[in-house]
Structure 1
Amino acid sequence: MTKLVVSVLLTVLLAGTVLAVIGNQIVPATRTAGINTGLQIEEAFR
């Protein structure tokens, strides 16, 4: 039973770490895309 709990805990921690790494890569890309879109809209109305 203890081995099962430890296995589940390690799996959850590993999955959380992977999601955090992926999230840190996606957030800056989203911010950059938003800035570029804003600039394109601004240029379209000039």
Structure 2
Amino acid sequence: MTDSAEGLTHLDDEGRARMVDVSQKAVTDRRATATGHIVMDAATLARIVAG
């Protein structure tokens, strides 16, 4: 494992993800915002807009 993985409860000793029981955790309200970019030819966009 790397130093960045130390203390992470969702990784086993070999750095593989494992399931964690969260049934006793309190419910929280979380929000996230994501952005992205799509690159395409102008002709492709025209066909999408045209349906």
TM-score, scaled to structure 2: 0.20
Q: Which has the higher Rg, Structure 1 or Structure 2?
A: 2
TM-score, scaled to structure 1: 0.21
- Return the structure number with greater relative CO, CA threshold 8 A, min gap 6: 2
